[in-house]
Structure 1
Amino acid sequence: MGDDNIIVQKPLSELIADQLKKDIWSESIKFGDRLLETDLAEHFDVSRSTIREAFKILETEELIVSKARKGTYVADFTEQDLNEIIELRTLIESQAFKKAMPKLDEQQLEKLKKITEQMKIKADEHDWNGLFDLDMEFHSFVVNLCGNARIVRIYNSLQVQIRTFLMHLDQYYSSPQSFYREHEELLQTLISKDKDAVVKRVSNHIEYVEEKLLGVNDENRVNAN
């Protein structure tokens, strides 16, 4: 049997950690909620030690926090977190997209077109979670082509934080279609092979939320006065 036929099965603790991430991203579990080992062990029909291993994974990814003598909680995602993720994504992705452009051949552009087409379907269905998953797929696909292993490694280590950041974006876009259209425009810019235009488009795409966030904050300050 060839290596291609080997199915790699994740450890049970990783599968549970993955499910808990999805529950947080879908808001079935809220920020700040307490996670009880006993309840989760019963829910998933596993040992408490398996749940503890899943907690360690999520804690490493900064999705949960353990508080001494208080228990384990889903981490809050603050305005500061939003700003830091925006800054990191802008720095990493603008450089990575520029470096990836010469490596984007017809087959790879076709892959991005298919992702974008799927985004349109999800936008029409008003499925924000589906859109955000496809956003991750789109951006990760390009970053992984950049040819800089360290950039790829750092970006991959931020995947959970970025995906958690994305679940906040629906409040900043007028509709799912506007979010999809940004990716369609980004795809067309990648097809153009214009590096300067790509850097500008990537930065605008990511920093759009920062502008909206600052606008909301300014409005709140005015109203408070």
Structure 2
Amino acid sequence: MHEQDSSGITQKPLSELIADQLKRKIWNEEIQLGERLLETELAELFDVSRSTIREALKILEIEELVVIQARKGTYVAAFTEQDVDEIIELRTLIEARAFTQATHHLEQNHVEDLQAIVDQMKTKADEKDWNALFDLDMQFHSYVVRLCGNSRIIKIYDSLQVQIRTFLMHLDQYYSNHQSFYDEHKQLLQALVSKDVHTVEGGVRNHIEYVETKLLGQKTIQNLRRYNL
């Protein structure tokens, strides 16, 4: 059942609103990856019925943010190194194509909208607010992908939004500071404005695969330590 606000605008169902709040708690690390979720506790926390909580958890299961196991309970999905590798690979494939195609549709009003997002990033970088930076990252990348003109790419990307935002939770450990994260998006916008497809594709790949390089570096160090090298 959908609710309406005082203006008559249709709002999300209660279960979706709760699912959104649970996502935010996970991304803010108020709820940990791998943590068990109890329907009774959540029903009390949100002051709703267990059936509403069950519907909210079903939404999160479809988005692969929780795992529901018969007779074992519901758990926040763990995020493995393989998950990180797969998200990096998928983002690179989709965004490299979408960003280069977006250059053909980029107008001045789009540039102004993207500049506004980047300006907000500067503010949040100064405040050292990773969560806000990651939310703005999602806004920036989603905005550009929607300019690519391929409805199927857009639909696939939309279906990955929750997984990508969960992936972003891990990025703070790979960036030396908040400013460098902001700088990368400023450079991405400059590349888009140039409309040079090679510069754009290179910028996107460098931005996304930067984390993969850091991961590989960490794995190499771990292996060296394991073998006392």
CA distance in 2, matches of 1:207, 1:18: 28
| 2:197 is equivalent to residue 195 of structure 1 | yes
Aligned to 1:123: 125
Between the aligned partners of 2:59 and 2:94, the Cα distance in structure 1 is: 24
**Aligned residue identity for 1:92:** I
Any residues of structure 2 matched to 1:128-207 within 5 Å, and which? 128-207=130-209
* SS of aligned partner of 1:73: strand
* Superposition pairs of residues 71-150 of structure 1, within 5 angstroms: 71-150=73-152
Structure 2 unaligned spans of 5+:
1-6
Match of 1:20 in 2: 22
Letter in 2 for 1:126: K
Q: Please list, as runs of the form range in 1=range in 2, the aligned pairs for 1:201-220 lying within 5 A after superposition.
A: 201-220=203-222
1:68, CA displacement in angstroms?
A: 2.2
Partner of 1:56: 58
SS at match of 2:103: helix
- CA–CA separation in structure 2 for the residues paired with 1:76 and 1:52: 20
SS in 1 for 2:68: strand
- Aligned partner (choices 63, 66, 70) of residue 68 of structure 1: 70
The AA in structure 1 aligned to 2:33 is F
Question: Per-residue deviation at 1:67?
Answer: 1.8
In the alignment of these two chains, the number of paired residues is 221
Identity %: 67
Q: 2: CA distance between counterparts of 1:13 and 1:186?
A: 37
Q: Find the residue that maps to 1:109 and give its secondary structure.
A: helix
Letter aligned with residue 14 of structure 1: E
Q: Which runs of 5+ in 1 are unaligned?
A: none
Cα displacement (A) at 1:81: 0.3
Letter paired with 2:60: L
